[in-house]
Amino acid sequence: MNRQSLMIGKRLFSKVRVVRKPSTLANELGSLYEHNQPIFEPPTPEKKMSALDYAFSLKSPVSTWTKEQLREIYNTPLMELVHRAQIYHRNFHNPSEVQICNLVNIKSGGCTEDCKYCSQSVNNDTNLKAEKLMTVDEVVEQAKIAKSNGATRVCLGAAYRTVSTRKRALERITTMVKEVNKLGLESCVTLGMIEEEHARKLKDAGLTAYNHNIDTSREHYPNIITTRTYDDRLKTIDNVQKAGISACTGGILGLGETVEDHIGFLYTLCTMKQHPESLPINRLVPIKGTPIADELARDNSKKLKFESMLRTIATARMVMPTSIIRLAAGRYTMKETEQFLCFMAGCNAIFSGKKMLTTMCNGFDEDKELLAKWGMKPMQSFAGKRPSSVVETCHI
């Protein structure tokens, strides 16, 4: 040890001996060094966990989300949001599996609701003729075709305001459900509003899920529909769940809504006591003769941007991790790369076949080729096997 080092050591020892307060010790030790920086840095307050990190940390669904949390997640840089959604998706689902669903329009047209987007409403000038309810045999034939092409869920759609006032129709549809189940397929119906007692009849027939979409946010809803309230829709979902049937509920993007409406739409769904088992995301297909198509034609700025759709899907995956997110109507208008990104963001089901009610749909052969190209495979039927969502109360 040289003379200079020895002298510094003596000075250091001397100062340590006489200093009683840590802060003074830090200052004295710091004075020995050229830059005079404190050795002990003051403690910093803990950083608040981000909403995205909080969502990512959860092991099961929660229903205590706030709009502020959803807004923060939604506005995460897009690459990070999709990346995290894909990783989180893998905690709850097999990333290589996609459920193929088929929608059968068992009763088309003649609906008395005034939904501004729908071709089946009598209030819209779409020249769609009302048709009678299909026979059971016709439905079974359609279901067999769907199964032979890899579908594991068949949804039966009827253009009714409510099925609860249609006793004979409900009896026939109940038989349809039983026959679809015999094929080893999951059964889903979308029949408008329904009372709990009638939902129980469908439950007794073996119905897997009941579809009833909320369409959009509570705030934007009155701009789209006036003949049925938002709470009417929520009541139907509640009736279905009370009857022991899985709820299939989602909405339509592209109805002239804002980003804030996407957040409000997700808020309604993710704060339900029981999250939807199935969450269909539809991309609006503007149909000539509907008011919404006319509005979008006049104002091009209201058309849906794909980025907004992708953010909505990824956010839905982060806050409703066990739900099956279904890429539904409008998929045929999307590029292959856009579809791929939707699956990266957390979608894991598609509708396949000739039509989605009255709009075009990607065909079975096309989808088989697409999934094979991506290294994905059809999901097996999980009728009666998927556990219901577990809801915890958690706070940041």
Q: Is 342 among the annotated ligand-binding positions?
A: no
Residue 396 within any structural domain of the chain: no
Tens of pLDDT, residues 250-292 = 999 999 999 999 999 999 999 999 999 999 999 999 999 999 9
| Contact criterion met (CB below 8 Å) for 362 and 352 | yes
Q: Examine residue 57 and state whether it is found in any structural domain, yes or no.
A: no
Asked whether residue 392 is assigned to any structural domain, the reply reads no
Domain count, the chain: 2
**Does the annotation place 118 within a ligand binding site?**
yes
Whether residue 177 is contained in a domain is answered as yes
Q: Does some domain include residue 58?
A: no
Q: What is the DSSP letter of 282?
A: E
Question: Is the pLDDT at 80 greater than 90, yes or no?
Answer: yes
> For 133-185, what is each residue's pLDDT tens digit?
999 999 999 999 999 999 999 999 999 999 999 999 999 999 999 999 999 99
Cβ contact 355:105 at 8 Å: yes
Verify that 29 and 70 share a domain, yes or no.
no
115 annotated to a ligand binding site: yes
Average pLDDT, integer, range 204-215: 98
Active site residue 101: no
Q: Where are the alpha helices (DSSP H) in 302-351?
A: 306-319, 336-344
Q: Give the active site residue among 283, 326, 342, 347.
A: 326
Residues 162 and 244 in one domain: yes
226 and 335 inside one domain = yes
- Same domain assignment for residues 14 and 77: no
Mean pLDDT of 303-309: 97
Is 326 among the catalytic positions?
yes
Provide the pLDDT for residue 301. 86
Q: Write the CATH number for 110.
A: 3.20.20.70
86 lies in the same domain as 1? no
Q: Are residues 99 and 244 in the same domain?
A: yes
Q: Do residues 8 and 71 both lie within one domain? A: no
392 bridge partner residues: 62
Q: What is the pTM of this model?
A: 0.85
Same-domain check for residues 98 and 188: yes
Collapsing DSSP states into helix, strand and coil, what is residue 205?
coil
pLDDT of residue 360: 87
CA-nearest of 31, 28, 92, 81 to 52 is: 81
> Which region among 10-14, 96-100, 295-299 has the lowest average model confidence (pLDDT)?
10-14
What ranges make up the beta strands (E) of 147-285? 153-158, 186-190, 209-211, 246-248, 251-253, 278-283
Compute the distance between CA of residue 127 and CA of residue 168 in angstroms, rounded to an integer. Answer: 27
Q: What is the pLDDT of residues 335-382, one digit of tens each?
A: 999 999 999 999 999 999 988 888 889 999 999 999 999 999 999 887
**Quick check: is 387 in a domain?**
no
Nearest to 349 by CA among 284, 304, 282: 282
Question: What pLDDT, on the 0 to 100 scale, is given for residue 48?
Answer: 86
Residue 384 pLDDT: 42
pLDDT, tens digit, 9 for 90 and up, residues 16-53: 444 344 444 344 434 433 444 444 444 455 678 999 99
**Structural domain of 299:** 63-378
In terms of residues, how long is the chain?
396
Residue 56 falls inside a structural domain: no
Any binding-site annotation on 248?
Answer: yes
Same domain, 33 and 108: no
pLDDT of residue 215: 98
**Residue 270 among known ligand-binding residues:** no
Any domain includes 349: yes
Of 71, 84, 101, 115, which residue is the catalytic one? 115
Whether 31 and 144 share a structural domain: no
115 is catalytic: yes
pLDDT at 374: 94
Q: Would you report the helix, strand and coil content of the chain in percent, each value rounded to 5?
A: 40, 15, 45
The DSSP bridge pattern shows strands 324-327 and 278-283 to be: parallel
**pLDDT recorded at residue 11:** 46
pLDDT, position 46: 61
Strands 209-211 and 251-253, bridge-based pairing: unpaired
248 catalytic, yes or no?
A: yes
**Whether the predicted pLDDT of 192 surpasses 50:** yes
pLDDT digits (tens, 9 = 90+) for 111-134: 999 999 999 999 998 988 889 999
Same domain for 329 and 220: yes
| Residues 229, 374 within the same domain | yes
Spell out the long-range contacts of 173-177 with Cβ–Cβ below 8 A and sequence spacing 24 or more: 173/106, 173/133, 173/202, 174/201, 174/202, 174/205, 175/136, 175/205, 176/106, 176/136, 176/139, 176/140, 177/202, 177/205, 177/206, 177/207
Query: Is the torsion defined by CA of 310, 312, 318, 323 positive or negative?
Result: negative
